[in-house]
Amino acid sequence: MTGPASAASAAELVIMEEEHAAHNYHPLPVVIASGEGAWVTDVDGRRYLDCLAAYSAVNFGHSHPVLLEAAREQLGRITLTSRAFHSDRLGPFVEELAALAGKDMVLPMNTGAEAVESGIKVARAWGYRVKGVAPGRATIIVADGNFHGRTTTIVSFSDDPTARDDFGPFTPGFVRVPYGDADALGRAIDDTTVAVLLEPIQGEAGIIVPPAGYLARVRELCTENEVLFIADEIQSGLGRTGATFACDLVGVVPDVYLLGKALGGGIVPVSAVVANRDILGVLRPGEHGSTFGGNPLAAAVGTAVVRMLATGEMQSRATLLGERLQRRLGELLGHGVVAVRGAGLWAGIDIDPALGTGRQVCELLMERGVLAKDTHGSTIRLAPPIVIDPEDLDWAVDQLSAVLGELGAAVPTAAPAAVSR
């Protein structure tokens, strides 16, 4: 480890963070210093298998040589110009990303939440300027259990009390319906509806896969009612589910893709709104922007990511490894696991609450050298880098099985029922 904190112990580094960083996260007590592929190493030299991949931002592994080379080469040239000027990196990036998505245009931003906010603005402008919705009346339909980010506007349409409590007043203009219920969505559409914003698979909610036919019906409803279908593929897209986009798994093409996380290769924040010209073309100079959006460093790394995905190798790998992961996790059903969901190399695992919480399972996995993340009490998520070795993937499931066995052994056996006489 190098740098000003190199002489500090793990405990000292945690204290520094706890003392001076806002407590908006509750991390596991591991202090990571380096990483390569699917593995990370802490300040004491202990290695851990990363089965979170920064919520899919590290889909291609830590320190991927192709992505590092793209970043290093650009670092030596220029990193930021702002969009006040053209750069030699932005054109190739947006052209190749648009081609990957089968669309015309790209609005480059930085974080996933910025992509969502940008998509909302674009949808509203389209609603007023193209569809003809009355000024100030545009509404967007969203789903229960959604997670699109944590800005004030986005938490306005969340149903998670942790995201909402004490952060009002909230932004109007959103209608929430049950996820997976196309009939409810159809009933919610009216003359003010400009878009439907959905995660094709809900990530933060616990890798919730919608019912068969749901996304196709959403597509039909949007087409029938002249409403934009916006797919938030920030976590599900770019190879994670075994396809370039999760929508591809069911043959559905949305009007707008929201992308982020893996688009920056785990090196820099890169996000984008991707759509055709008749949608993104509604924006006029000065109406939207970002000092860092589309910067040369981000564009160089993003282009390398797009070219990697264009070969299809990562998608195929996620499909094969995902089948292996789902098969192995299925063996744990009834042995401390009550449900398994997922697509590609992405799994939500519901732990039997009688054994413990998702956080407790993740803490015990950490002790065994596996890093994972809990959500909503009893659920844990596995999303290892797509470059993970099959043997390492099996080893991670073995550790989960061992943890469940430990917890099961610790649960007191119920006393025999009294016999009536």
Residues with catalytic function: 147, 232, 261
- Coil, strand or helix at 189: coil
Alpha-carbon distances of 311 from 105, 266, 305, rounded to whole Å: 21, 19, 11
Residue 39's φ and ψ, nearest 5 degrees, are: -115, 145
Residues 6+ apart with CB under 8 A from 418: none
Is residue 285 reached through a cis peptide bond, with omega within 30 degrees of 0 on the bond before it?
A: no
Q: Report the run of H or E that residue 36 belongs to, with start and end.
A: strand 32-36
Q: Find how far residue 357's CA is from the centre of its chain.
A: 22
**What does the alpha-carbon distance between residue 377 and residue 87 come to, in Å, rounded to a whole number?**
46
Instruction: Give the amino acid at 142.
Output: V
> CA 52, CA 180: separation in Å to the nearest integer?
25
Assigned token pair, 229: 């279908």
E strands, 260-395, where? 271-275, 337-342, 347-351, 370-371, 373-375, 379-382
Distance CA 373, CA 352 (A): 16
Q: Who's near 55: CB < 8 A, 6+ residues apart?
A: 203, 235, 261, 373, 383
Q: What is the largest CA-CA distance in the chain?
A: 90
Distance, CA of 377 to CA of 399 (rounded, Å): 20
Helix axes 390-410, 358-367, angle to 10 degrees: 120
Crossing angle for the helix pair 296-310 and 65-75, to the nearest 10 degrees: 150
Please compute, for residue 126, the number of CA atoms within 13 A of its CA located in the half-sphere on the CB side.
Answer: 25
Tell me whether the omega of the peptide bond preceding residue 169 falls within 30 degrees of 0, making it cis.
yes
CA distance 29 to 279: 45
